[in-house]
Amino acid sequence: MSARVGVILFPGSNCELDCRRSFDALGAEVEMIWHGDVALPDVDLVVLPGGFAHGDYLRTGALARFSPIMDAVAAHAAGGGLVLGICNGFQILCEAGLLPGALKKNVGLKFLCKWTELRVDNADTPFTNRAHAGRRLRIPINHFEGNWYVDDETLRSMKENGQIVLRYTSNPNGSLDDAAGISNATFNVFGLMPHPERACDLLLGSEDGALILGSTLDHVASDARAAV
Amino acid sequence: MRYAAVVDVMPKEGIADPQGQTIEKALPALGYGGVAEIRVGKRIELQLEAAGPDEARERVLEMCERLLANPVIEVYEVTIR
């Protein structure tokens, strides 16, 4: 059975169709979920896509974390379900407290829209198992607030646990410890600023993003085998 | 009673503030030397009904914790009038 992926649509999301198309192409069953719903359908992975949810007013993700669906997303995560936040989705997960830290404005106050090179520093997660440690990925960024920050103590324990999963090889935005993608302590919630869903086809310049998205599907499949 | 509240939200001390840093670089270009330690925050004004000033403050502090500020990177100060 193929993995079931739910993509949440907030008012102001603009990457939800890219997510659907890329997961479709990888063989997942994809369903769109309205942010105003209070329950999730039966899905293995919840994706919070990029965009400008609720206009990014006040702070990025600050209002989206109170969308009715977010209680169900938190419950899904608490039960061990997979949650992936891309760009604005990453910002929402931080505001919701499902991931540590916060995203500040980029150093230099520039909106950055360009290709970046990432390094996989932990390949033993549901989001990176198709790669190997040290693997370089070419994936684009497209953000103004990607400058991840967390307090020293939390950063230390995150580094020890391998929660800084992806790092920029050339830090574009001031992000602490060159972090591009980070995970919670139980590795079922993952957020990254780069857009893997935009790098799943050589026609678009790279298919390295499929390693990230595809990893989640492999993880779901191996879970299903273990349950039999 | 109706109270007016002012909330000042600032980046936490010790946390780099990209807006402040950028302005700090721009000012010398306009001829303003010797300017340092620029920090940029935001001011939020609101009115609310409450039984007294203490209750008004209590409620606004709760709003700050939950929404108006992000305690990971920001501090806030509430003034009730």
Q: Is the ipTM of this complex over 0.95?
A: no
Q: What do you get for the CA distance between the two ends of chain A, in Å?
A: 12
**Nearest chain A residue (CA) to B12:** A151
What b/e sequence results for A160-171 when a residue is b if at least 16 CB atoms lie within 10 Å of its CB, and e otherwise? eeebbbbbbeeb
Distance, CA of A222 to CA of A226 (rounded, Å)? 6
Per-residue pLDDT, A226: 85
Interface with B, mutate which of A90, A109, A154 (most B CBs under 10 A): A109
Is the confidence at residue A1, as pLDDT, over 80? Answer: no
The total number of structural domains that make up chain A: 1
Chain A hits for B16, CB-CB cut-off 8 Å, are 104, 107, 174
Domain residue limits, chain B: 2-80
CATH topology of domain B2-80: Mth169; Chain: A , (3.30.1280)
Going by their DSSP bridges, the two strands B74-80 and A45-48 should be labelled as unpaired
| Confidence band of A228 (pLDDT split at 50, 70, 90) | confident
| Confidence band of A223 (pLDDT split at 50, 70, 90) | confident
Residue-wise pLDDT for A96-111, tens only, equals: 999 999 999 999 999 9
Give residue A108's domain range. Answer: 4-227
Q: Quote the percentage of chain A above a pLDDT of 90.
A: 96
The average confidence (pLDDT) of chain A is 97
Distance, CA of A3 to CA of A211 (rounded, Å)? 15
Going by their DSSP bridges, the two strands B74-80 and B2-11 should be labelled as antiparallel
Count CB neighbours of B78 within 10 A: 18
Residue-wise pLDDT for A149-169, tens only, equals: 999 999 999 999 999 999 999
Is the confidence at residue A142, as pLDDT, over 90? Answer: yes
Count CB neighbours of B39 within 10 A: 15
Is the confidence at residue B6, as pLDDT, over 80? Answer: yes
- CATH code of residue A209: 3.40.50.880
Active site (annotated) includes residue A197 = yes
Interface with A, mutate which of B72, B74, B75, B76 (most A CBs under 10 A): B72
Interface membership of B79 toward A (CB under 8 Å): no
